[in-house]
Amino acid sequence: MNNILFSGDENAFQSWLTAQSYSQCILLADAHTHGFCIPLLTKKIPALSTASRIVIPAGEEHKNIDTCQWIWNELENINADRQSVLICVGGGMVTDIGGFAASVYKRGIDFIHFPTTLLAMVDAAYGGKNGIDYRGYKNELGLFRHARYLYIEPAFLQSLSARLIHSGMAEMIKHALLSGEDYWQEIQSYTAHDFCLLSSIQRSLGVKINIVQQDEFDMQIRQRLNWGHSIGHAIESYSLNQNTPLLHGEAIMLGMLYECCISETIFGLSSSIFQTLLELQQKFFPQLLMNYHFSDILPYVDQDKKNNQGYRMSLLKAPGECVVQTLVSVQQIQDVMI
Ligand SMILES: NC(=O)c1ccc[n+]([C@@H]2O[C@H](COP(=O)([O-])OP(=O)(O)OC[C@H]3O[C@@H](n4cnc5c(N)ncnc54)[C@H](O)[C@@H]3O)[C@@H](O)[C@H]2O)c1
């Protein structure tokens, strides 16, 4: 499992890093985080200012095998050996691909995550799932391996656009709904600023930690975190392949809305959950529309890794009550889409 440090713990991190005696620290960033976040990081942790750097293109469309090859070539060019550490500085795209590239390079070198988006802080950078998209499908290639350290620094969020802040908020809303009525009620009154507070990030991340620690390898309980993701990932892949990519959290917001409707059909989830979620969507994601065609989305739902003798989804009975591996028929999906 990850060690986690929070803003203000720079000295503890620096002491730990020194004690590891890594042969080389290598910073991995994308084109945006290289400009926005590396200067802040090296100011806080001066020992990293002399580290080698690998910079990859930004965007989900680059979370692929070509970018991995670029990373591996660069690691070889700078003579990274098995005692090197890759320090991933970025959103979920960088932490996913960086963790994957590091995990297979020379059979695995250590990696550390400095998440720089809200979504990566509360979700993507924790939990050991690394991977890349392949042949148009989300996270088709990947493995489980934890970062040695996860460092949460909300100051990185200062350069993040409102759209990207909102994208992270979707996963926090998901965590609140998975947690139970109290957190769900509380989060409904949060402003965008509230979502970005260190205390809010810690609370949201805490929900994920609690679930992952019960089921590290995603056999059962961890699949609760996939609520909203069967349809959400399908919409994300579809939008990417249409060259109109949605952000991950935007796709998950839509996925949660659709899966609320399926949850109502199968488990009698109260329609008030859908209504409140719709209000949050209209407040923070007014550009999103539930206008996806069943025939466009179903081929991508087919690729969901949870499927087993039919479509399997994590669905809600109530806030705090998520039932994993629920069998859903094609008709039940069709009924909630156009
Ligand atoms: N491994 C997991 O458990 C897990 C969980 C959830 C999501 N994910 C993955 O995370 C990815 C989405 O992550 P994301 O939403 O962070 O997107 P992202 O990493 O693509 O970042 C979005 C954009 O923000 C820019 N950016 C990042 N930090 C910035 C900063 N501080 N200031 C300015 N610009 C900045 C990036 O360069 C990029 O252009 C998806 O690939 C998704 O599949 C993984």
Q: Supply the pLDDT for residue 235.
A: 96
- According to the model, what pLDDT value does residue 338 have? 83
Q: How many CB atoms lie within 10 A of CB 230?
A: 26
Report in angstroms the alpha-carbon separations of 95 from 45, 88, 196, 267. Answer: 19, 6, 19, 35
Q: 127 in ligand 1 pocket by Cβ < 6 Å? A: yes
* Of 1, 7, 27, 33, best ligand 1 pocket probe by most atoms within 8 Å of the beta carbon: 33
- Cβ of 34 closer than 6 Å to ligand 1, yes or no, is no
What are the Cα distances from residue 11, in Å, to 48, 83, 185, 270?
13, 22, 37, 48
Q: How far is the CA of 91 from the centre of ligand 1 (A)?
A: 3
CB of 116 shorter than 6 A to ligand 1: yes
Cα distance between residue 304 and residue 216, in whole Å = 19
- pLDDT one-digit tens code per residue, 207-228: 999 999 999 999 999 999 999 9
Q: Where are the alpha helices (DSSP H) in 37-91?
A: 38-44, 65-77
Say what the pLDDT of residue 2 is: 67
pLDDT of residue 249 exceeding 80: yes
Residue 169 CB neighbour total at 10 angstroms: 26
Is 232 close to ligand 1, i.e. is its CB under 6 Å away?
Answer: no
Two structure tokens written together for 186: 């509380």
Residue count (the chain) = 338
Q: Is the CB of 123 under 6 A from ligand 1?
A: yes
Q: Which of 7, 116, 156, 300 to mutate to test the pocket of ligand 1 (most atoms within 8 A of CB)?
A: 116
Pocket test for ligand 1, best of 62, 96, 113, 208 (most atoms within 8 A of CB): 96
Per-residue model confidence as pLDDT tens digits over 131-189: 999 998 889 999 999 999 999 999 999 999 999 999 999 999 999 999 999 999 999 99
What pLDDT does 1 receive?
59
Q: Parallel, antiparallel, or unpaired: how do β-strands 24-30 and 311-318 relate?
A: unpaired
Rounded to an integer, the average pLDDT of 85-100 is 98
Confidence of residue 294 (pLDDT cuts 50, 70, 90): very high
Q: Is the pLDDT of residue 315 over 80?
A: yes
Q: Which atom of ligand 1 is nearest to the CA of 233?
A: 43
Buried b (16+ CB within 10 A) or exposed e, 10-40: beebeeebeeeebebbbbbbbebbbebbbeb
pLDDT attached to residue 336: 95
65 CB neighbour count, 10 Å cutoff = 14
What is the band of 303 on the pLDDT scale with cuts at 50, 70, 90?
A: confident
